[in-house]
Amino acid sequence: MYISYGHSVGNNYKHVQITTKYRYKMMGKDLIKTYCEVAIKESCKHHKIEITILKVMENHVHMIVDCPRTMSDSKLLQIIKGSSSYLIFRFCPNLRKRYSQGHFWNGGYFCCSIGSNYEAVFEYIKNQELHHSFH
């Protein structure tokens, strides 16, 4: 469960939530939802960020990631949001009509270390469809 980083051992699990700009329900269509999922996975893989679970909803994304211990939260989100946004616009150029400034994701984000709450957070993300069907 722990990873060795040369002079330290451990993990750096984070619960991350990012939202589309203006909370538009852009991932309601399966094609854009798939593009979003692929873009996030590619962005993380390129920067050695492991995704444990990824759940793409209509207007936001939840995930648990294990990032290098030297990476700050702001750097983590800069990589995920910036790189995935770039790839999404490459996959689907027509999105530029809605997002003319090139910002697919909202400027804000949620990111917290999981620690001993791993199982509870994992179940919360896994059951997002159920959670949002009540609201």
Is there a domain that residue 6 lies in? no
CA angle 14, 20, 26 (to 5 degrees): 125
Is there a domain that residue 78 lies in? yes
Q: Find the domain containing 79 and state its range.
A: 12-133
Per-residue pLDDT of 17-37, as tens digits, reads 999 999 999 999 999 999 999
**How many structural domains does the chain have?**
1
Is there a domain that residue 40 lies in? yes
**pTM score:** 0.91
DSSP state of 105: B
Is there a domain that residue 3 lies in? no
Alpha-carbon distance of 117 to 14, in angstroms, equals 11
The Cα-based distances of 6 to 49, 53, 69, 83, 109 in angstroms read 17, 26, 11, 27, 30
Is there a domain that residue 7 lies in? no
CATH code where residue 124 lies: 3.30.70.1290
SS3 130: helix
User: Which parts of 16-99 fold into alpha helices (H)?
Assistant: 30-46, 73-91
Is there a domain that residue 22 lies in? yes
Per-residue pLDDT of 125-135, as tens digits, reads 999 988 777 65
Alpha-carbon distance of 47 to 59, in angstroms, equals 25
pLDDT of residue 134: 67
